[in-house]
Amino acid sequence: MVFSTSVRRALTWLSIFCFFGAQASPLTDTQPSVLITRDNVTTFTTLSQTEISAFRPFSYYAATAYCTSSETANWNCGANCKANRAFEPIAAGGDGDDVQYWFVGIDPKLKTIVVSHQGTDPFKLLPLLTDGDILLSQLDPTLFPGVDDSVMVHGGFRDSQAETSADILAAVKTAMAQSGLNDVTVVGHSLGAAIALLDGLFLPLHIPGVNVKVIGYGMPRVGNDAFADFVDGNLDLTRITHKNDVIPIVPGRFLGFHHPSGEKHIQHDDVTWIACPGNFS
């Protein structure tokens, strides 16, 4: 279905209200628990402290993406950069508004190339418009060759990933050549997590044999059920959700959006992490 510019703009502003207005409201008894039964599986696994600690460096990488591109290019952004001192930046870009900040580099300690994307800055208009562009759309076949037409994604997230795709691809190839590494970890928070998820599918289609995993923090729903199934069949994904953060439950399932598998949910005590099976969320 094709919408006129005026209709699309109206839907965008309506969805912005729904997307961000929800953040000001607590979860009610009518909203589903994050730990719901998924695919007839009722067993939830508690992560060990060793498993939880393995995510710590990547949480800093996701936070670092909120720094300016000049800061990440020089790896001089304060505590977040100092948390991963061995990191070797390869490229950085974005302006934090029209294009989200991003960076690519090498972590010789973890033996992985890292790609990180900035999340939504609520004080900037254009990222809000991106979040609000919720119409399900097909992926660009040039960027995602061979993906079935039934796979549909959030239009704003799709367009944001496309804006940096060429630069990210070139930087990852450079990092692989310089380091000899074949593993890539893509991270991000909120909007950045959505872009990271699309990057995680995009990169293997253009770099044969690369091993990609995605770690997303507070990731919103990105696509439809066919998209979730496609992710489950093609990507190593971890989605980290936290207590009553409502961003992971938007856009709503009633709009046709569904999460892929891979959720790790931080409980109310801020200590316990639960692995949630299935993708019924």
- Residue pLDDT, tens place only, 137-157: 999 999 999 999 999 999 999
> CA 135 to CA 165: how far, in whole Å?
21
d(CA 105, CA 65): 12
Predicted confidence at residue 126, as pLDDT, reads: 54
| Residues 258-267: tens digit of each pLDDT | 999 999 999 9
Half-sphere exposure of 57 (CA within 13 A, CB side): 19
10, containing H or E segment:
helix 5-21
Distance between CA 247 and CA 220 in Å, rounded?
A: 5
Which single residue is written with the structure tokens 């093609």? 234
Average pLDDT over residues 54-71: 98
Contacts of 61 (CB under 8 A, 6+ apart): 84, 87, 114, 116, 185, 187
Residue 189, both tokens: 């928070």
Rounded-to-integer distance, Cα 206 and Cα 142, Å = 10
- 242 burial class (0-12, 13-18, 19+ CB within 10 angstroms)? middle
pLDDT category, 7, cuts 50, 70, 90? very low
Q: Residue 12: is its pLDDT beyond 60?
A: no
C-alpha distances in Å from residue 278, one per residue of 141, 242, 259 = 28, 18, 9
In this prediction the pTM is 0.84
pLDDT at residue number 55: 97
Average pLDDT, the chain: 85
Q: What is the C-alpha to C-alpha distance for residues 103 and 260, in angstroms, rounded to an integer?
A: 25
pLDDT attached to residue 25: 31
Q: Average pLDDT for residues 55-78, to the nearest whole number?
A: 97
Give the HSE-up count for residue 170: Cα atoms under 13 Å, Cβ half-sphere: 7
